[in-house]
Structure 1
Amino acid sequence: MQVGIDQIGFYTPNKYVDMVDLAEARNVDPNKFLIGIGQKKMSVADQTQDAVSMGINATLRYWNKIDQDKVGLMIFGTESSVDQSKSASLFVKSALHLKPEVRTFEVKEACFGLTAGLMMARDFVRVHPDQSAIVIGSDIARYGVNTPGEVTQGAGSISLLIKSDPSILSLNDGHSAYSEDINDFWRPNNHTTALVEGKYSTQVYLDFFSKTFGAYKELKGWKTQDFSAIICHLPYTKLGLKANRLAVEGQDEETSERLLTNFEASKQMSMQVGNIYTASLYMSLLSLLENTDLAPNSLLGLFSYGSGAMAEFYSGNIVDGYEEQLDPEADRLMLSERQKLSVSEYEKIFNKAMEVPEDGQELISDEKPGRWYFAGTKNEVRQYKQK
């Protein structure tokens, strides 16, 4: 029995700031952001957009296409949690009117959260082949206004439906994992923005990539040339490019060109959205699927990394007809219809979003009709509404 990804839903907030504008405001050469970091735009979440609302909106992208009664599990991976106890998945479950019997919880390990959920969902479906699972990654990457990490912020969500006989990507058995207790990136309970050792985190990321990729090939008895594409978690696109360059060292020209070309396709969305933590790798997957033509059974390698640090390399094979499950026009429209913010507007919205609204204050969204948003708290209980 094959188990894998059957549906992919994507959502990002309706505002963005341009990296050229940001560079000029920070008195930096724009090429440092455009080329050195590899980013063009960055989605900006306002006070009405959080991990939960984005997760609902991402799941709604495919919700009416699936057999909703067969969903038996929902896992929410995030490092932008809205509650220290209650899982974000329960808010989503309520919004979607999922049946009470659905098992649901939240997982955390920096940017590794969605992958951890995916692996649990895969095992769940193997034991319950007549059921499906929803796994959501949803995050707002925040380092603060005018900080070294500012250019690597972003916001968005990816929702995956995992089931037997999948329509997009069939997951292979086996994986390579590697973890260490280190401090390259973390966010203490008393911090609203992350702390990061940028250069150290880059070194760890690339080291963990080399370890897991090498171990995975040894485990499976495969070579680099067997992969049609290798996609990565992208805190910023230049870092994934560095990993891809490590992968193609010493390879023949055809292999190198294929992997680098497909990596370019996989980074297109990230260049427009920025870092979305747990969902970043899977936005890379969606970007690859929508920006290149992959032959049935093409082998994809996926590198997942979460600071602190946990990494995993695994693979899947493209399912024939995967294109029919995608909606690239709607994704492009979502990105193109976002409101461009001036740097001063971005700073005001960013700082306002960091504030906790007064209990009882009702927040109003400027999103499209049909989208879900955070409407504030009532008696300290979070309220979510559909516009």
Structure 2
Amino acid sequence: MQVGIDQIGFYTPNKYVDMLDLAHARGVEPNKYLIGIGQSKMSVADQSQDAVSMGINATLSYINKVDLEQVGLLIMGTESGVDQSKSASLFVKSALKLPPEVRTFEIKEACFGMTAGIMVARDYVRLHPEHSAIVIGSDIARYGLKTGGEVTQGAGSVSVLIKANPRILALTSGHSAYSADINDFWRPNNSAVALVDGKYSTEVYLDFFQRTFQAYKSKQKMTTADFTAILYHLPFVKMGLKANRLAVAEQDAKTKKRLEENFTASTLYSKQVGNIYTASLYLGLLSLLENGTLSAADTIGLFSYGSGAMGEFYAGKVMANYEQALNKVADEKMIARRQQLTIADYEQIFKQALQLPADNIELSSDEAPGYWYFAGTKNHVRQYQRK
């Protein structure tokens, strides 16, 4: 029995900053951002969008194709949680009107959370093939204005349906994991923005990739040439590019060309959206599926990394006619619909979004009708509404 991704949904807020504008405002040579980091735009979440609302919106794009009575599990991976106790997934479950019997919880391990959720969901469906599972990655990456990490911010969510006999990607058996207690990136409870040692984090990321990639190939008796594409967690595009260069080193010309071209296809959406933490790897998967060159049974490798740190490499095989389960036009419209912000407007929205609105003050949203948003708190209880 094959188990894997049957549906995939995507959402990003309706505002963005152009990296050219940001570079000029910060007195930086534009190519440092455009080439050195590899980003062209980044989505910006205002006070009315958070991990919950974005997760709801990403799932809405396919929920009408799902038999809700078969859903047995809902997991949300996020490091942008809205409560120290209550799972963000419970708010999502309520908005989606999932049955009360659905088991639901939240997973946190930096950017690894969604992958952890997918691994749990895969094993759950293998034991309960009559059920499906929804796994959401949803995050807002914030490092602060005029900081070194500012250019690697972003906001968005990816949601997947895991089930037996999937239509998009069948997850293969086996994985390679590696973890260590280190401090390359973290966000203390008293901080609304993350702290990061950028150079050290890049070194650890590349080290974890090499460890897990080599271990996976050894365990599965595979070579690099067996992969049609290799995907990476993309906190920014240049980070993944460095890992891909390690992967294609010493490969034959055909393998190198294939992996480089499919890597480029996997970065097209991330270049425009920015860092979405737990969902970044899966935004890359969506971008590859909709823009790459793939055939049935092609093997896609996936490297997931969460600072602190946890790394894992696993793989999946592309299903025949997978394109029919995607909606490239809608995903491209999602990105194209965004309004460009001036740097002054971006800075104002950024500062406002760091503050929790006063209790019993209702927020409004400038999103299009049909999207969910955070409407403030009522008696200290978070409220979510559909526009």
Given the two structures, how large is their TM-score scaled by the length of structure 2?
1.00
Q: CA deviation at 1:66?
A: 1.4
Map of 1:255 onto structure 2? 255
Map of 1:93 onto structure 2? 93
**Cα-to-partner distance string for 1:95-120 (whole Å, 9 max, x where unaligned):** 01111100000000000000000000
Map of 1:308 onto structure 2? 308
Report sequence identity in percent.
Answer: 69
Q: CA deviation at 1:69?
A: 1.1
Map of 1:142 onto structure 2? 142
**Cα-to-partner distance string for 1:189-236 (whole Å, 9 max, x where unaligned):** 001000000000000000000000000000000000000000000000
Q: Distance in 1 between matches of 2:151 and 2:263?
A: 21
Map of 1:15 onto structure 2? 15
Map of 2:283 onto structure 1? 283
Map of 2:179 onto structure 1? 179
Q: Distance in 1 between matches of 2:368 and 2:172?
A: 38
**Cα-to-partner distance string for 1:11-36 (whole Å, 9 max, x where unaligned):** 00000000000000000010000000
Q: Distance in 2 between matches of 1:191 and 1:201?
A: 19
Letter in 1 for 2:110: A
Q: Distance in 1 between matches of 2:181 and 2:199?
A: 17
Letter in 2 for 1:294: L
Letter in 1 for 2:71: V
Aligned-residue Cα RMSD (Å) equals 0.4
Map of 1:348 onto structure 2? 348
Map of 1:237 onto structure 2? 237
User: Does the Cα contact within 8 Å between 2:3 and 2:163 map onto a contact in 1?
Assistant: yes
Q: Distance in 2 between matches of 1:321 and 1:87?
A: 36
Aligned length: 387
Map of 2:53 onto structure 1? 53
Q: How does 1:158-177 map to 2 (within 5 A)?
A: 158-177=158-177
**Cα-to-partner distance string for 1:281-332 (whole Å, 9 max, x where unaligned):** 0000000001023110000000000000000000000000100011111111
Q: Distance in 2 between matches of 1:344 and 1:257?
A: 42
Letter in 2 for 1:366: D
Given the two structures, how large is their TM-score scaled by the length of structure 1?
1.00
Q: Distance in 2 between matches of 1:258 and 1:384?
A: 44
Map of 1:120 onto structure 2? 120
Q: Distance in 2 between matches of 1:206 and 1:125?
A: 32
For the residue of structure 1 that corresponds to 2:73, the secondary structure is strand
Map of 1:154 onto structure 2? 154
Map of 1:265 onto structure 2? 265
Letter in 2 for 1:352: Q
Q: CA deviation at 1:334?
A: 1.1
Q: Distance in 2 between matches of 1:374 and 1:132?
A: 27
For the residue of structure 2 that corresponds to 1:267, the secondary structure is helix
For the residue of structure 2 that corresponds to 1:66, the secondary structure is coil
User: Does the Cα contact within 8 Å between 2:10 and 2:58 map onto a contact in 1?
Assistant: yes
Q: Distance in 2 between matches of 1:190 and 1:29?
A: 33
Q: Distance in 2 between matches of 1:275 and 1:65?
A: 28
Map of 1:35 onto structure 2? 35
For the residue of structure 1 that corresponds to 2:64, the secondary structure is helix
Q: CA deviation at 1:67?
A: 1.1
Q: Distance in 2 between matches of 1:301 and 1:32?
A: 29
**Cα-to-partner distance string for 1:248-270 (whole Å, 9 max, x where unaligned):** 11110000010000000000000
Map of 2:6 onto structure 1? 6
Map of 1:208 onto structure 2? 208
Q: CA deviation at 1:337?
A: 1.1
Q: Distance in 2 between matches of 1:83 and 1:372?
A: 18
Q: CA deviation at 1:65?
A: 1.0
For the residue of structure 2 that corresponds to 1:65, the secondary structure is coil
Choose 330-339 or 225-234, whichever is displaced more.
Answer: 330-339
Unaligned stretches of 5+ residues in structure 1: none
Q: Distance in 2 between matches of 1:272 and 1:69?
A: 36
Q: Distance in 1 between matches of 2:303 and 2:293?
A: 21
Q: Distance in 1 between matches of 2:330 and 2:127?
A: 34
